[in-house]
Amino acid sequence: MNIDNAIDDIVLLVQRDGQPLKGLGIRDKKIYVRLKGYDSIGLWVELPDYTLPQLAHSESGPQDEITADACALIPWTAIETVVHFPDLEGFDFPKPEVDQLGFQSE
């Protein structure tokens, strides 16, 4: 198995103990994410519909939030293991059938 084969597929990411990804809003030890790439620092994962503050001023005030598709770099030091399901239907690109893809932010 080569990690290149998992790019653009859904993988199960298991984070190390101590919630190292807590700052991103990841509380669960195991999360399903779409793998977008990797480098010497870690894995790039897709964050669909990530919530962030609106950058431009709006009429309703500075508290507005918007959602956008984003990618996050998960450092290798935060990862316990990655599980890929190469032959499982519904876990591959382009349209996975996973109920809880990504994670909940606070």
Tens of pLDDT, residue by residue over 64-85, are: 788 888 899 999 999 999 999 9
Confidence check: pLDDT of 102 > 60: no
Mean pLDDT value across residues 17-37: 84
11: left (phi over 0), alpha (psi -120 to 50) or beta: beta
CA 67 remoteness from chain centre: 15
Domain ranges of the chain: 1-55+64-106
The residues pairing with 101 across neighbouring beta strands, listed in sequence order, are 32
The residues pairing with 52 across neighbouring beta strands, listed in sequence order, are 66
Beta-strand relationship, 79-84 and 10-15? antiparallel
User: Topology of domain 1-55+64-106, per CATH?
Assistant: SH3 type barrels. (2.30.30)
CA distance 92 to 37: 15
Give residue 23's pLDDT: 77
